[in-house]
Structure 1
Amino acid sequence: MISKREALITLNDCPYVTRPVLRQMMKDDSLLTSLPVLTPSKLSSKLSLPFKRSKSILDYIRNDNIMKKLDKNSRQFHALTIMDPDFPLSLRQIPDPPLVLYAKGNLELLSRLLSISVVGTRTPSDYAYYTMEKLLPPLISANFLIVSGMAAGVDQQAHQLAIDHGGATIAVLGSGFNYPYPKNNPALFQRLGETQLLLSEYPPDRPPKKYHFPERNRIISALTESTLVIEARMKSGSLITVDQALEQGKNVYAVPGPIGLETSEGCHHIIQQGAKLVQSCHDILQDYCLKK
């Protein structure tokens, strides 16, 4: 037999198991705990999966080398499952929560009360950097946790400003920890894992895939009370994060940019749709003061 938690972590690591299948399996506790003795035919019948895929799943979780790898991972990284009491409540409540969350660094940051996600283009203008230097340090001084996605550009600058100003930051990755992406700033990645917090719903040895990044955006928005957009194109990951934030009932802030700049268009669009226009940090702070 195997515990439900062990089964969940093992299945999440298995390339033949998708989140919908794993969610289906979680509805039957006896199925999870009896995996070591199930036959491929039984698993295929219970989940309406092809026999070949069911066999691949069971072969994977019974492979001694896989078990050794998972044991090694457990010594290097934290694994939080949705059934653990310390799994973030904000993530439990979203429509498609991660079922396993891998973490490296300071887990206490997950319990910070004040938080804001910062997203934007990978190719920011000088104006964007100037804006961030004006907006973020006062928020960091007010004890805001900064959450972003470690992408080049606005994301990495948000993490760096949090570190430089003695604040706290969480980076949500679109890949496993053994495949940091992008690779342009290894020093920042290492610093985040040592003194801040790296999070990913993907197992440590999972390389980045294009679809991972839209998926991880729901985690970025869910971890925070609000999302701030600083320069974004109309078709961009930043606006996907905005859509996720709105679906989750979060506040959205946007910085207007110069007319004619492509990276201004996304911000101007969401301001027209109801996002709060931000001219200074006080436009954000006053909302929190009203709420608190």
Structure 2
Amino acid sequence: MGKKIRLIHLHHFLFENYQTIRKILQYDPHLENLYQYSPSTFQNIFQMTLKAAEKLYDQLHSTSILDILKENYKKNIIIITIYDELYPDLLKEICDPPFVLYLKGNQTILKKQFLISIIGAREPSLFAKIICDSLIIDLMKEDCVIVSGMATGCDSIAHKSAIFHRGKTIAVVGCGLDYIYPKQNRNLFNEISINHLVISEYPYYIKPEKRYFPRRNRIIAGLSKGLIVLEAKEKSGTMITANFAIQYNREVFAVPGPIIMEEYKGNHRLIQDGAKLITNTNDILEEFKEYTKK
């Protein structure tokens, strides 16, 4: 059994505790001794509570990795680790890249070079919808992959527009791939999981919970060369994702809007802080000339 398989086994139970997985890998880079560790070892060396250490020990020894792999296979879920060639290079650059990713759909999309994230409000204006479609029409001509979070509003609009214009899209979700959230996006999820790609860092059995979505946002930012904010209030999940993109030194673009609208205060703040104001797709493409066909 190789270290990738052992990492998948460990992550299946310890997915919420990033720092503990990191400590274990620093201590035992190939996880060669993973199954020899006692609860007291987990507690003393990796600073776990006794209760958590005993639970992890029991899980590793009572649920076989073979059963986990079989269950994912039955669900058409592909599992990759940070050590796999398919793992996106850009995502490895962030300060806390996911150790494991769960994929459903066309995994070859991950090897595309030109990925752009498009995000925004859950209740967008008609203006945001029109702008999104206009930008995506031109981005599709450059073989750009659209990344978003499959939330209601701007996320869904971005995915649907990419599909309609015969492009490719990646949905990064904040739950296991057994669950569809929000439920009204069932048809969209099914379309993306067959012909495009759905990504999660959570094992299939994890239900959607509010605390998982901010973590999901760092993947949306980390996967892409740049991030477009269509419409955002100053305090919103969209701004969390935009701040991740800034932290990761990605290109951040913002659509300007009426100064009296709350829905654009986030955009204007980003522009004031250095994001590029965009008026058309060329404002985006000129930052990525190495990926354009012109």
Indicate the SS of the match to 2:104: strand
Residue type at the aligned position of 1:37: Q
Paired position in structure 1 for 2:45: 46
Residue type at the aligned position of 2:21: L
Paired position in structure 2 for 1:146: 146
Paired position in structure 2 for 1:5: 4
Question: Residues 35 and 198 from structure 1, CA distance in 2 versus in 1: closer, same or farther, beyond 3 angstroms?
Answer: same
Indicate the SS of the match to 1:185: helix
Note the aligned Cα RMSD (angstroms). 1.9
**CA displacement 1:20-74 (0-9 Å, x = unmatched):** 1011111133782323333222332221322222111010111247752442114
Paired position in structure 2 for 1:34: 33
Is the contact between residue 169 and residue 197 of structure 2 (CA under 8 Å) also seen in structure 1?
yes
State how far apart, in whole Å, the 2-side matches of 1:79 and 1:65 are.
16
**CA displacement 1:92-150 (0-9 Å, x = unmatched):** 11101100011111111111112210010000011111111222111112211100010
Is the contact between residue 254 and residue 278 of structure 2 (CA under 8 Å) also seen in structure 1?
yes
Residue type at the aligned position of 1:161: S
TM-score (norm 2): 0.93
Matched, 1:136 2:136: yes
Indicate the SS of the match to 1:32: coil
Question: Residues 224 and 44 from structure 1, CA distance in 2 versus in 1: closer, same or farther, beyond 3 angstroms?
Answer: same
Is the contact between residue 141 and residue 165 of structure 1 (CA under 8 Å) also seen in structure 2?
no
Instruction: Give the share of equivalent positions with the same residue, in percent.
Output: 38
State how far apart, in whole Å, the 1-side matches of 2:204 and 2:122 are.
24
State how far apart, in whole Å, the 2-side matches of 1:290 and 1:53 are.
49
Once the two structures are TM-superposed, the CA of residue 197 in structure 1 deviates from its matched residue by 0.3
Once the two structures are TM-superposed, the CA of residue 153 in structure 1 deviates from its matched residue by 0.4
Indicate the SS of the match to 1:72: helix
Is the contact between residue 16 and residue 53 of structure 1 (CA under 8 Å) also seen in structure 2?
no
Residue type at the aligned position of 1:143: D
Indicate the SS of the match to 1:49: coil
State how far apart, in whole Å, the 2-side matches of 1:287 and 1:77 are.
35
Residue type at the aligned position of 1:144: C
State how far apart, in whole Å, the 1-side matches of 2:126 and 2:87 are.
38
**How do 1:155-174 and structure 2 match up within 5 A?**
155-174=155-174
Residue type at the aligned position of 1:222: G
In the alignment of these two chains, the number of paired residues is 291
**How do 1:21-170 and structure 2 match up within 5 A?**
21-29=20-28, 32-64=31-63, 68-75=67-74, 76-170=76-170
Indicate the SS of the match to 2:103: strand
**How do 1:181-192 and structure 2 match up within 5 A?**
181-192=181-192
Once the two structures are TM-superposed, the CA of residue 286 in structure 1 deviates from its matched residue by 2.2
State how far apart, in whole Å, the 1-side matches of 2:201 and 2:15 are.
16
Is the contact between residue 142 and residue 291 of structure 2 (CA under 8 Å) also seen in structure 1?
no
Is the contact between residue 271 and residue 277 of structure 1 (CA under 8 Å) also seen in structure 2?
yes
Residue type at the aligned position of 2:286: Q
Is the contact between residue 232 and residue 264 of structure 1 (CA under 8 Å) also seen in structure 2?
yes
**CA displacement 1:174-220 (0-9 Å, x = unmatched):** 11111221111100000000000000111111112212111111111
Paired position in structure 2 for 1:248: 248
Indicate the SS of the match to 1:178: coil
Question: Residues 169 and 291 from structure 1, CA distance in 2 versus in 1: closer, same or farther, beyond 3 angstroms?
Answer: closer
Paired position in structure 2 for 1:263: 263
Deviates more, 1:24-33 or 1:278-287: 24-33
